Structure 1
Amino acid sequence: MELDASLLLPGQPIHIPARAPAPQLGPGTYSRDAQIRASVLGVPRFQGSTLTIPRVRPQPPSPNSVVLGSVTRLSPLQAMISISVVDGVPLPPGEEFTGVIRTQDVRATEKDRVKISDCFRGSDVVRGTVLSLGDARSYFVSTARNDLGVIFATSEAGATLEPVSWQEMRCPKTGRIEQRKCAKPEGL
Protein backbone atom coordinates (compact mmCIF):
# COMPACT_ATOMS: atom_id res chain seq x y z
CA MET A 1 0.00 0.00 0.00
CA GLU A 2 1.44 3.37 -1.04
CA LEU A 3 1.26 6.41 1.28
CA ASP A 4 2.12 10.03 0.68
CA ALA A 5 5.67 10.19 2.10
CA SER A 6 5.56 13.81 3.25
CA LEU A 7 6.42 15.03 6.73
CA LEU A 8 3.33 15.41 8.90
CA LEU A 9 2.78 17.60 11.94
CA PRO A 10 0.87 16.32 14.98
CA GLY A 11 -2.87 16.45 14.27
CA GLN A 12 -2.61 16.34 10.48
CA PRO A 13 -4.69 13.67 8.73
CA ILE A 14 -2.98 10.67 7.15
CA HIS A 15 -4.43 9.94 3.71
CA ILE A 16 -4.90 6.22 3.13
CA PRO A 17 -5.73 5.05 -0.44
CA ALA A 18 -9.51 4.65 -0.88
CA ARG A 19 -9.55 0.89 -1.62
CA ALA A 20 -7.13 -0.03 1.12
CA PRO A 21 -8.36 -1.94 4.19
CA ALA A 22 -8.32 -0.04 7.46
CA PRO A 23 -4.85 -0.42 8.99
CA GLN A 24 -4.03 -1.21 12.59
CA LEU A 25 -2.85 1.95 14.35
CA GLY A 26 0.63 1.88 15.80
CA PRO A 27 2.87 4.39 17.61
CA GLY A 28 2.60 7.95 16.32
CA THR A 29 -1.00 7.63 15.08
CA TYR A 30 -4.54 7.98 16.46
CA SER A 31 -8.11 8.13 15.18
CA ARG A 32 -10.52 11.04 15.71
CA ASP A 33 -13.80 11.71 13.91
CA ALA A 34 -13.25 8.65 11.66
CA GLN A 35 -9.97 10.17 10.43
CA ILE A 36 -6.51 8.70 11.09
CA ARG A 37 -4.13 11.41 12.27
CA ALA A 38 -0.46 11.88 13.21
CA SER A 39 0.34 12.29 16.90
CA VAL A 40 4.05 13.08 16.36
CA LEU A 41 6.17 14.86 13.77
CA GLY A 42 7.25 12.36 11.14
CA VAL A 43 6.58 10.42 7.94
CA PRO A 44 3.90 7.68 8.01
CA ARG A 45 5.07 4.13 7.25
CA PHE A 46 3.53 0.67 7.14
CA GLN A 47 5.10 -2.11 9.15
CA GLY A 48 3.11 -5.06 7.89
CA SER A 49 -0.54 -4.02 8.34
CA THR A 50 0.28 -1.55 11.13
CA LEU A 51 0.51 2.16 10.35
CA THR A 52 3.21 3.94 12.38
CA ILE A 53 5.03 7.24 12.40
CA PRO A 54 8.57 6.89 13.69
CA ARG A 55 9.76 9.99 15.49
CA VAL A 56 12.03 12.29 13.51
CA ARG A 57 15.18 12.76 15.54
CA PRO A 58 16.59 16.28 15.41
CA GLN A 59 20.16 16.53 14.19
CA PRO A 60 22.66 19.25 15.06
CA PRO A 61 23.31 21.74 12.27
CA SER A 62 25.84 20.77 9.60
CA PRO A 63 27.15 22.71 6.58
CA ASN A 64 24.30 23.55 4.16
CA SER A 65 21.58 22.87 6.78
CA VAL A 66 18.70 25.33 6.56
CA VAL A 67 18.04 26.74 10.02
CA LEU A 68 15.49 29.00 11.69
CA GLY A 69 16.40 31.07 14.69
CA SER A 70 15.61 34.27 16.50
CA VAL A 71 18.01 37.18 16.85
CA THR A 72 19.27 37.38 20.43
CA ARG A 73 22.09 39.93 20.21
CA LEU A 74 23.43 42.49 17.75
CA SER A 75 26.81 44.11 17.36
CA PRO A 76 28.13 46.30 14.52
CA LEU A 77 29.85 43.27 12.94
CA GLN A 78 27.44 40.39 13.58
CA ALA A 79 24.02 39.16 14.68
CA MET A 80 23.70 36.26 17.10
CA ILE A 81 20.76 33.90 16.61
CA SER A 82 19.33 31.14 18.75
CA ILE A 83 18.75 28.23 16.32
CA SER A 84 15.57 26.29 17.11
CA VAL A 85 14.80 24.47 13.81
CA VAL A 86 17.29 22.47 11.69
CA ASP A 87 16.26 21.28 8.21
CA GLY A 88 12.57 21.64 9.09
CA VAL A 89 12.82 19.64 12.34
CA PRO A 90 12.20 21.58 15.57
CA LEU A 91 14.74 20.99 18.31
CA PRO A 92 13.46 19.75 21.68
CA PRO A 93 12.76 22.48 24.27
CA GLY A 94 15.97 23.60 25.95
CA GLU A 95 18.19 22.23 23.16
CA GLU A 96 19.23 25.18 21.03
CA PHE A 97 22.33 26.08 19.08
CA THR A 98 23.89 29.50 18.61
CA GLY A 99 24.49 30.93 15.16
CA VAL A 100 26.49 33.97 14.08
CA ILE A 101 25.62 36.00 10.98
CA ARG A 102 28.66 38.11 10.10
CA THR A 103 28.40 41.26 7.93
CA GLN A 104 30.10 39.49 5.01
CA ASP A 105 27.49 36.67 5.17
CA VAL A 106 24.33 38.83 5.10
CA ARG A 107 24.04 39.23 1.34
CA ALA A 108 25.87 38.17 -1.80
CA THR A 109 26.58 41.66 -3.19
CA GLU A 110 27.88 44.91 -1.69
CA LYS A 111 29.19 43.02 1.33
CA ASP A 112 31.31 45.97 2.43
CA ARG A 113 28.22 48.25 2.70
CA VAL A 114 26.21 45.99 5.05
CA LYS A 115 25.08 47.49 8.35
CA ILE A 116 23.83 44.79 10.74
CA SER A 117 21.38 47.27 12.36
CA ASP A 118 19.72 47.82 8.95
CA CYS A 119 19.30 44.06 8.40
CA PHE A 120 18.17 42.58 11.74
CA ARG A 121 16.61 43.58 15.05
CA GLY A 122 16.29 41.70 18.31
CA SER A 123 13.70 38.86 18.26
CA ASP A 124 13.43 38.78 14.43
CA VAL A 125 13.01 35.23 13.13
CA VAL A 126 15.65 34.48 10.49
CA ARG A 127 16.04 31.68 7.92
CA GLY A 128 19.67 30.95 6.99
CA THR A 129 22.07 28.25 5.88
CA VAL A 130 24.93 26.94 7.98
CA LEU A 131 28.33 27.73 6.45
CA SER A 132 30.49 25.97 9.02
CA LEU A 133 31.15 25.38 12.67
CA GLY A 134 32.41 28.75 13.92
CA ASP A 135 34.05 28.45 17.29
CA ALA A 136 33.33 25.97 20.08
CA ARG A 137 30.01 27.67 20.89
CA SER A 138 28.43 28.70 17.58
CA TYR A 139 27.84 28.07 13.88
CA PHE A 140 28.50 30.56 11.07
CA VAL A 141 25.20 31.22 9.27
CA SER A 142 24.57 32.96 5.94
CA THR A 143 21.52 34.82 4.61
CA ALA A 144 23.18 35.57 1.25
CA ARG A 145 20.44 34.08 -0.94
CA ASN A 146 17.08 35.55 -1.94
CA ASP A 147 15.10 32.95 0.03
CA LEU A 148 17.08 33.62 3.22
CA GLY A 149 16.77 36.43 5.74
CA VAL A 150 14.09 37.75 8.10
CA ILE A 151 10.84 35.79 7.78
CA PHE A 152 9.03 37.23 10.82
CA ALA A 153 9.46 40.54 12.60
CA THR A 154 7.43 42.75 14.92
CA SER A 155 7.23 46.52 14.52
CA GLU A 156 7.82 49.05 17.28
CA ALA A 157 4.01 49.39 17.41
CA GLY A 158 3.68 45.65 18.14
CA ALA A 159 2.26 44.57 14.74
CA THR A 160 3.67 41.86 12.47
CA LEU A 161 5.74 43.51 9.75
CA GLU A 162 4.98 42.77 6.08
CA PRO A 163 7.83 42.58 3.54
CA VAL A 164 7.62 45.19 0.75
CA SER A 165 11.06 44.64 -0.81
CA TRP A 166 14.23 42.64 -0.16
CA GLN A 167 15.38 45.29 2.32
CA GLU A 168 12.20 46.86 3.75
CA MET A 169 9.19 45.81 5.83
CA ARG A 170 6.07 47.88 6.56
CA CYS A 171 4.04 48.12 9.76
CA PRO A 172 0.35 47.58 8.90
CA LYS A 173 -0.75 49.72 11.89
CA THR A 174 1.38 52.81 11.29
CA GLY A 175 2.52 52.38 7.68
CA ARG A 176 6.09 53.04 8.84
CA ILE A 177 8.90 51.36 6.88
CA GLU A 178 11.63 49.48 8.76
CA GLN A 179 14.91 48.18 7.30
CA ARG A 180 15.48 44.40 7.26
CA LYS A 181 17.26 41.81 5.09
CA CYS A 182 14.02 40.11 4.03
CA ALA A 183 13.68 36.56 2.80
CA LYS A 184 11.74 36.31 -0.44
CA PRO A 185 8.42 34.67 0.47
CA GLU A 186 8.11 31.05 -0.68
CA GLY A 187 6.06 30.58 -3.81
CA LEU A 188 6.89 33.96 -5.37
Structure 2
Amino acid sequence: MSATTATAPAVVTPGRRLGVEQEFDAGTGTYVRNGVIYSSILGSRIVSDSKGAEDAKATLSVERRNTKFAIPTIGSEILGRVVRMNPRAASVAIMMVGSTPCQEDFQGIVRVQDIRATEKDLVQMIESFRPGDIIRAEVISLGDQRSYYLATVKNEHGVVFAQSTDGNSMVPVSWEEMQDPKTLVVEKRKCAKTF
Protein backbone atom coordinates (compact mmCIF):
# COMPACT_ATOMS: atom_id res chain seq x y z
CA MET A 1 0.00 0.00 0.00
CA SER A 2 1.42 3.39 -0.98
CA ALA A 3 1.82 6.02 1.73
CA THR A 4 0.82 8.66 -0.82
CA THR A 5 -2.68 7.29 -1.39
CA ALA A 6 -5.31 9.98 -0.83
CA THR A 7 -8.12 9.17 1.54
CA ALA A 8 -11.51 10.89 1.69
CA PRO A 9 -12.16 12.72 4.99
CA ALA A 10 -14.17 10.75 7.55
CA VAL A 11 -15.77 12.16 10.69
CA VAL A 12 -14.05 10.99 13.88
CA THR A 13 -14.71 11.59 17.57
CA PRO A 14 -12.17 12.08 20.39
CA GLY A 15 -10.53 8.81 21.41
CA ARG A 16 -11.19 7.16 18.02
CA ARG A 17 -8.38 4.91 16.76
CA LEU A 18 -6.99 6.28 13.49
CA GLY A 19 -3.96 4.13 12.69
CA VAL A 20 -0.59 2.92 13.95
CA GLU A 21 2.79 4.68 14.13
CA GLN A 22 4.36 1.97 11.96
CA GLU A 23 2.30 3.22 9.00
CA PHE A 24 1.66 6.92 9.76
CA ASP A 25 3.10 9.97 11.50
CA ALA A 26 0.80 11.68 14.04
CA GLY A 27 -0.31 15.16 13.00
CA THR A 28 -2.41 17.91 14.57
CA GLY A 29 -5.58 16.89 16.40
CA THR A 30 -4.14 13.48 17.32
CA TYR A 31 -2.21 11.77 20.11
CA VAL A 32 -0.24 8.53 20.37
CA ARG A 33 -0.61 5.84 23.03
CA ASN A 34 1.22 2.51 22.89
CA GLY A 35 2.07 3.00 19.21
CA VAL A 36 -1.55 3.70 18.21
CA ILE A 37 -2.68 7.09 16.86
CA TYR A 38 -6.00 8.40 18.27
CA SER A 39 -8.12 11.47 17.53
CA SER A 40 -8.00 14.16 20.24
CA ILE A 41 -10.78 16.31 18.74
CA LEU A 42 -14.03 15.96 16.80
CA GLY A 43 -13.43 16.52 13.12
CA SER A 44 -12.45 15.06 9.79
CA ARG A 45 -9.72 12.41 9.45
CA ILE A 46 -7.11 13.68 6.99
CA VAL A 47 -4.25 11.64 5.49
CA SER A 48 -1.55 13.93 4.09
CA ASP A 49 0.69 12.60 1.34
CA SER A 50 4.30 12.01 2.27
CA LYS A 51 6.69 14.52 0.77
CA GLY A 52 10.14 13.62 -0.43
CA ALA A 53 11.55 10.14 0.17
CA GLU A 54 9.65 7.09 -1.03
CA ASP A 55 9.83 5.38 2.37
CA ALA A 56 8.45 8.45 4.22
CA LYS A 57 5.15 7.86 6.04
CA ALA A 58 1.93 9.77 5.38
CA THR A 59 0.68 12.00 8.21
CA LEU A 60 -2.65 11.40 9.97
CA SER A 61 -4.37 14.50 11.34
CA VAL A 62 -7.82 15.63 12.40
CA GLU A 63 -9.28 18.98 11.37
CA ARG A 64 -12.30 20.57 13.03
CA ARG A 65 -15.41 20.27 10.89
CA ASN A 66 -16.92 23.70 11.40
CA THR A 67 -16.23 26.97 13.12
CA LYS A 68 -19.55 27.44 14.92
CA PHE A 69 -19.11 28.72 18.44
CA ALA A 70 -20.80 26.76 21.22
CA ILE A 71 -21.46 28.04 24.74
CA PRO A 72 -23.16 25.82 27.35
CA THR A 73 -26.46 27.17 28.71
CA ILE A 74 -28.89 25.77 31.28
CA GLY A 75 -30.72 22.83 29.72
CA SER A 76 -28.04 22.21 27.06
CA GLU A 77 -26.98 18.63 26.43
CA ILE A 78 -23.21 18.26 26.41
CA LEU A 79 -20.66 15.61 25.54
CA GLY A 80 -17.56 15.65 27.70
CA ARG A 81 -14.56 13.70 28.94
CA VAL A 82 -14.11 12.90 32.64
CA VAL A 83 -10.68 14.27 33.57
CA ARG A 84 -10.55 14.05 37.39
CA MET A 85 -12.59 12.49 40.17
CA ASN A 86 -12.94 12.53 43.91
CA PRO A 87 -15.59 10.80 46.06
CA ARG A 88 -17.94 13.82 45.80
CA ALA A 89 -17.60 14.98 42.19
CA ALA A 90 -16.17 14.35 38.73
CA SER A 91 -14.53 17.11 36.68
CA VAL A 92 -15.50 17.08 33.01
CA ALA A 93 -13.91 18.77 29.98
CA ILE A 94 -16.88 19.82 27.83
CA MET A 95 -16.20 18.96 24.17
CA MET A 96 -19.58 19.51 22.50
CA VAL A 97 -22.76 21.46 23.24
CA GLY A 98 -25.60 19.77 21.38
CA SER A 99 -24.05 18.84 18.04
CA THR A 100 -21.61 21.79 17.97
CA PRO A 101 -17.97 21.28 19.01
CA CYS A 102 -16.60 23.72 21.59
CA GLN A 103 -13.84 26.02 20.37
CA GLU A 104 -12.94 27.00 23.94
CA ASP A 105 -12.19 24.96 27.02
CA PHE A 106 -15.28 24.68 29.23
CA GLN A 107 -15.20 22.76 32.49
CA GLY A 108 -18.12 21.00 34.14
CA ILE A 109 -18.70 19.19 37.42
CA VAL A 110 -21.00 16.23 38.03
CA ARG A 111 -21.68 16.07 41.75
CA VAL A 112 -22.47 12.69 43.29
CA GLN A 113 -26.07 13.79 44.04
CA ASP A 114 -26.60 14.66 40.35
CA ILE A 115 -25.70 11.24 38.90
CA ARG A 116 -28.98 9.34 39.41
CA ALA A 117 -32.57 10.39 40.04
CA THR A 118 -33.22 7.75 42.72
CA GLU A 119 -31.26 6.28 45.64
CA LYS A 120 -28.92 9.27 45.59
CA ASP A 121 -27.46 8.33 48.99
CA LEU A 122 -26.24 4.97 47.60
CA VAL A 123 -24.41 6.41 44.58
CA GLN A 124 -20.64 6.02 44.54
CA MET A 125 -18.58 8.08 42.12
CA ILE A 126 -16.12 5.27 41.29
CA GLU A 127 -19.06 3.02 40.27
CA SER A 128 -20.45 5.70 37.95
CA PHE A 129 -17.50 7.17 36.01
CA ARG A 130 -13.77 6.76 35.51
CA PRO A 131 -11.22 9.27 34.19
CA GLY A 132 -11.20 9.11 30.39
CA ASP A 133 -14.89 8.18 30.05
CA ILE A 134 -16.95 10.15 27.53
CA ILE A 135 -20.28 11.15 29.04
CA ARG A 136 -23.50 12.78 27.87
CA ALA A 137 -24.99 15.14 30.47
CA GLU A 138 -27.28 18.13 30.90
CA VAL A 139 -26.20 21.56 32.14
CA ILE A 140 -28.30 22.21 35.26
CA SER A 141 -26.59 25.36 36.54
CA LEU A 142 -24.02 27.89 35.44
CA GLY A 143 -22.17 26.92 38.63
CA ASP A 144 -19.24 28.97 39.84
CA GLN A 145 -16.71 30.98 37.85
CA ARG A 146 -14.72 27.88 36.92
CA SER A 147 -17.26 25.15 36.12
CA TYR A 148 -20.78 24.41 34.93
CA TYR A 149 -22.85 22.00 37.04
CA LEU A 150 -23.89 18.92 35.08
CA ALA A 151 -26.36 16.10 35.74
CA THR A 152 -26.76 12.58 34.36
CA VAL A 153 -30.09 11.78 36.07
CA LYS A 154 -31.98 11.15 32.81
CA ASN A 155 -31.84 7.66 31.28
CA GLU A 156 -30.24 8.97 28.07
CA HIS A 157 -27.42 10.59 30.05
CA GLY A 158 -24.32 8.88 31.40
CA VAL A 159 -21.28 7.12 29.96
CA VAL A 160 -21.40 6.72 26.17
CA PHE A 161 -17.80 5.56 25.64
CA ALA A 162 -15.38 3.91 28.06
CA GLN A 163 -12.19 1.92 27.90
CA SER A 164 -11.46 -1.01 30.18
CA THR A 165 -8.34 -1.18 32.34
CA ASP A 166 -6.83 -3.23 29.46
CA GLY A 167 -7.48 -0.35 27.03
CA ASN A 168 -10.29 -2.01 25.06
CA SER A 169 -13.52 -0.20 24.13
CA MET A 170 -16.34 -1.38 26.37
CA VAL A 171 -20.00 -2.04 25.58
CA PRO A 172 -22.95 -1.49 27.94
CA VAL A 173 -24.56 -4.68 29.24
CA SER A 174 -27.02 -2.97 31.62
CA TRP A 175 -27.78 0.54 32.86
CA GLU A 176 -25.02 0.22 35.46
CA GLU A 177 -22.41 -2.09 33.88
CA MET A 178 -20.09 -2.13 30.87
CA GLN A 179 -18.12 -5.12 29.61
CA ASP A 180 -14.82 -5.50 27.81
CA PRO A 181 -15.79 -7.75 24.86
CA LYS A 182 -12.27 -9.22 24.64
CA THR A 183 -11.56 -10.07 28.28
CA LEU A 184 -15.25 -10.25 29.38
CA VAL A 185 -14.37 -8.19 32.47
CA VAL A 186 -17.37 -6.19 33.74
CA GLU A 187 -16.94 -2.70 35.25
CA LYS A 188 -19.51 -0.50 36.98
CA ARG A 189 -20.65 2.66 35.12
CA LYS A 190 -23.74 4.87 34.94
CA CYS A 191 -24.50 4.02 31.31
CA ALA A 192 -26.41 6.25 28.91
CA LYS A 193 -29.41 4.61 27.33
CA THR A 194 -28.91 4.37 23.57
CA PHE A 195 -31.91 4.57 21.28
Whether the 8 Å contact between 1:67 and 1:83 is mirrored in structure 2 is yes
Compute the displacement of 1:115 (Å).
Answer: 0.3
Contact 1:65 1:86 survives alignment (8 Å): yes
Q: 8 Å contact 1:71–1:122 — kept in the other structure?
A: yes
Match of 2:84 in 1: 73
Trace 1:87-106 onto structure 2 (pairs within 5 A).
Answer: 87-92=98-103, 95-106=104-115
| Equivalent of residue 142 in structure 1, options 151, 154, 163 | 151
**Matches of residues 147-186 of structure 1 in structure 2 within 5 Å?**
147-185=156-194
Q: Could you tell me how far 1:118 is from its partner in structure 2?
A: 0.4
Q: How does 1:9-48 map to 2 (within 5 A)?
A: none
Secondary structure of 2:140's counterpart equals: strand
CA distance in 2, matches of 1:175, 1:58: 41
Q: What count of residue pairs does the alignment treat as equivalent? A: 136
Q: CA deviation at 1:59?
A: 2.4
Which residue, 55, 65, 75 being the options, matches 1:64? 75
Q: Counterpart in 1 of 2:60?
A: none
Q: Deviations over 1:100-130 (max 9, x none)?
A: 0001100100011110000000100000000
Look up the equivalent residue of 1:88 and give its one-letter code.
Answer: S
TM-score by structure 1 length?
0.68
Name whichever structure is richer in strand by fraction: 2
Runs of at least 5 residues in structure 1 that lack an aligned partner in the other structure = 1-9, 13-39, 42-54
Q: Distance in 2 between matches of 1:78 and 1:177?
A: 23
The one-letter amino acid of 1:155's match is S
SS in 1 for 2:150: strand
- Superposed CA RMSD: 1.8
TM-score of the superposed pair, with normalisation by structure 2? 0.66
Inter-partner Cα distance in structure 2 for 1:83 and 1:71:
9
Distance 2:161 2:170 in 1: 7
* Counterpart secondary structure, 1:183: coil
2:24 aligned partner: none
Shift, 1:183, TM fit: 0.1
Please give the secondary structure, in 1, of the residue aligned with 2:130.
coil
Structure possessing the higher radius of gyration over alpha carbons: 1
Segments of 5+ residues of structure 2 without an aligned counterpart are: 1-8, 12-63
2:147 matches 1:112: no
Q: Tell me, in whole angstroms, the C-alpha distance in 2 between the residues paired with 1:71 and 1:140.
A: 13
CA contact (8 A) 2:70 2:101 kept: no
Residue 83 in structure 1 maps to residue 77 in structure 2: no
Cα separation, 1, equivalents of 2:114 and 2:132: 19
1:157–1:173 contact (8 Å) kept in structure 2? no
